[in-house]
């Protein structure tokens, strides 16, 4: 079957999904599996599943959040991914290798109450003493003398504790996308790659043949999409176009409610850092968890298949909101921003340079960093994944399905329910995320 076969003029489907990233594919799969009679087509301008920001992700996941919505979305999605791998036998390269926050005194005190309340709700957390961390993590530097000028300049704080999230770890976003793609096709879903949606079709519900329709007094509806190969008419258009959603929604006056912001990952390989990969005591894989330093949100993600690490940082103030067609990683950003912090806490990274690097865009919801999901005149918009779309994609796909079916509640994997309007605009109710380090 050819994915790029040409489209007849005015094809008709029940649902068009724009975007074959994790969000679009999870949504398409769940909608179709709820009602296999539905005619659903997924369109993507790239040539394969998950080639947008899904492919740029660090593929890390965690259920450690203070917002109950975040815990529900991520927790149930992680359980579903675990089920795919363990029970369905589809390898996602998922490892519950943990998240490890190295905490300075102030951070730890601020989090103490939050940690207790999360524990009461069943989130598995483990606190490590500084001594344990020193014993377990090869060569880690947790304390800096007063005469350490470099540490003073970058304000490297002493680590007092480690906080480990247990149901956290790493997964392959590519394999998650492939799983949904495969399952969607098995039940009769259609996917067309190399097909760019140029615009959404906004039409009057009853066309009169007057110039400039739809006019302000006409009932109107998004009734499909235009592509270079023709028009596809549909009752519902799901806009799951990631950081490009505003390009489709702005022209018809719908606010996608996110700002694009670049994030970068640097891949490092060297015999000097290999010993750090094999860190015992944190998990069954004897590997270092996804670890975050107290300063500047610098993280290191073990990548055992490459015998190395992926490294990045959470840069916010100073990093512009800007759409870039092909965002590029900046070597200087590694050298001058990340490296000084990284090599201070993990001296084995000293003089190690990236062998590979890439960048993508976060679709940042600047209000609360939790996804938006709303319906507007024939379009279902899912946006603002804010850098955690992989770990929430299954739950978001189920919520898109519930919204499409006009259900008040979505059933998440594992049996919990969530009111769909909680992610919407008018009745938004997502709690407060305080677990931002």
Ligand X SMILES: Cc1cc2nc3c(=O)[nH]c(=O)nc-3n(C[C@H](O)[C@H](O)[C@H](O)COP(=O)(O)OP(=O)(O)OC[C@H]3O[C@@H](n4cnc5c(N)ncnc54)[C@H](O)[C@@H]3O)c2cc1C
Tokens of 242: 């990631």
DSSP code per residue over 176-243: HHHHHHHHHHHTT-EEE-S--EEEEEEEESS----TTPSPTTS-EEEEEEEETTEEEEEEEEEE--GG
**Distance in angstroms (rounded) separating the CA atoms of residues 328 and 313:** 15
Pick between residue 4 and residue 113 the one whose CB is nearest to ligand X. 4
Binding of residue 388 to ligand X (CB under 6 A): yes
Interaction pattern, residues 223-252, with ligand X; x per rule: CB under 6 A: -----------------xxx-x---x----
Applying the rule CB under 6 A, the residues between 12 and 71 that interact with ligand X are 18-24, 43-46, 50-54, 56-61
Pick between residue 64 and residue 391 the one whose CB is nearest to ligand X. 391
Binding of residue 428 to ligand X (CB under 6 A): no
No. of helices (H) and no. of strands (E), the chain: 11, 20
Interaction pattern, residues 142-181, with ligand X; x per rule: CB under 6 A: ----------------------------------------
> Min. distance of Cβ 148 from ligand X in angstroms?
31
Pick between residue 188 and residue 251 the one whose CB is nearest to ligand X. 251
> Min. distance of Cβ 300 from ligand X in angstroms?
12
Among 334, 339, 362, 435, binds ligand X (CB under 6 A): 362
Q: How many residues bind ligand X (CB under 6 A)?
A: 40
Token pair 């979505």: residue: 410
**Distance in angstroms (rounded) separating the CA atoms of residues 257 and 236:** 20
Pick between residue 242 and residue 308 the one whose CB is nearest to ligand X. 242
Q: Give SS3 for 3.
A: coil
> Min. distance of Cβ 153 from ligand X in angstroms?
27
**Distance in angstroms (rounded) separating the CA atoms of residues 175 and 301:** 18
> Min. distance of Cβ 57 from ligand X in angstroms?
3
**Distance in angstroms (rounded) separating the CA atoms of residues 201 and 309:** 45
> Min. distance of Cβ 265 from ligand X in angstroms?
5
Tokens of 414: 């594992």
Pick between residue 141 and residue 337 the one whose CB is nearest to ligand X. 337
Pick between residue 341 and residue 391 the one whose CB is nearest to ligand X. 391
Binding of residue 197 to ligand X (CB under 6 A): yes
Binding of residue 196 to ligand X (CB under 6 A): yes
Pick between residue 242 and residue 424 the one whose CB is nearest to ligand X. 242
Selection from 171, 192, 239, 210 nearest residue 388 by Cα: 171
Burial 142-155 (b: 16+ CB within 10 A, else e): bebeeeeeebeeee
DSSP code per residue over 258-295: -EEEEEEEEEEE-HHHHHHHS--SSSTT----EEE-SS
> Min. distance of Cβ 141 from ligand X in angstroms?
25
Applying the rule CB under 6 A, the residues between 248 and 277 that interact with ligand X are 248, 263, 265
> Min. distance of Cβ 134 from ligand X in angstroms?
27
**Distance in angstroms (rounded) separating the CA atoms of residues 134 and 236:** 55
Binding of residue 192 to ligand X (CB under 6 A): no
Total residue length of the chain: 437
Interface ranges with ligand X (CB under 6 A): 18-24, 43-46, 50-54, 56-61, 196-197, 240-242, 244, 248, 263, 265, 360-362, 385, 387-391
């Amino acid at each position: 079957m050819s994915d790029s076969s040409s489209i007849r003029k005015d094809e008709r489907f029940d649902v068009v999904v724009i975007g074959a990233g994790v969000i679009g594919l999870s949504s398409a799969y769940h909608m179709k599996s709820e009602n296999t009679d539905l005619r659903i087509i997924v369109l993507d301008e790239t040539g394969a599943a998950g080639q947008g920001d899904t492919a740029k992700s660090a593929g890390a996941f965690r259920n450690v959040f203070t917002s109950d919505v975040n815990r529900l979305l991520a927790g149930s999605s992680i359980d579903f991914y675990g089920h795919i791998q363990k029970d369905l036998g589809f390898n996602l390269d998922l490892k519950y290798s943990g998240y490890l926050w190295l905490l300075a005194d102030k951070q730890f005190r601020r989090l103490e109450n939050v940690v207790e309340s999360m524990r009461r709700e069943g989130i598995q957390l483990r606190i490590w003493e500084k001594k344990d961390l020193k014993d377990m993590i090869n060569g880690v530097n947790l304390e800096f003398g007063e005469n350490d000028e470099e540490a003073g300049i970058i304000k490297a704080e002493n680590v007092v504790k480690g906080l480990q999230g247990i149901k956290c770890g790493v997964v392959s976003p590519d394999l998650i996308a492939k799983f949904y793609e495969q399952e969607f096709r098995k039940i009769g879903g259609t996917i067309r790659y190399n097909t760019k949606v140029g615009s959404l079709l906004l039409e009057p519900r009853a066309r009169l043949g007057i110039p400039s329709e739809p006019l302000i007094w006409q009932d109107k509806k998004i009734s499909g999409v235009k592509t270079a190969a023709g028009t596809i008419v549909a009752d519902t258009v799901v806009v799951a176009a990631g950081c490009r959603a505003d390009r489709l929604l702005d022209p018809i006056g719908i606010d996608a409610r996110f700002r694009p912001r670049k994030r970068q990952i640097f891949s490092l390989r060297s015999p000097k850092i290999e010993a750090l990969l094999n860190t015992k005591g944190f998990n069954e894989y004897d590997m270092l968890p996804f670890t975050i330093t107290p300063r500047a949100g610098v993280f290191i993600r073990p990548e055992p298949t490459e015998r190395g690490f992926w490294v990045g940082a959470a840069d916010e103030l100073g990093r512009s909101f800007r759409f870039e067609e092909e965002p590029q990683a900046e070597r200087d950003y590694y050298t001058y921003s990340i490296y000084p912090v990284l090599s201070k806490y993990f001296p084995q990274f000293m003089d190690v340079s990236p062998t590979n690097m890439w960048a993508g865009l976060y679709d940042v919801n600047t209000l609360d960093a939790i996804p938006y999901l709303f319906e507007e005149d024939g379009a279902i918009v899912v946006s603002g994944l804010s850098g955690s779309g992989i770990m929430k994609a299954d739950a978001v796909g189920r919520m898109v399905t519930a919204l499409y079916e006009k259900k008040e509640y979505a059933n998440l994997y594992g049996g919990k329910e969530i009111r769909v309007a909680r992610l919407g605009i008018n009745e938004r109710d997502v709690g407060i995320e305080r677990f931002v380090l």
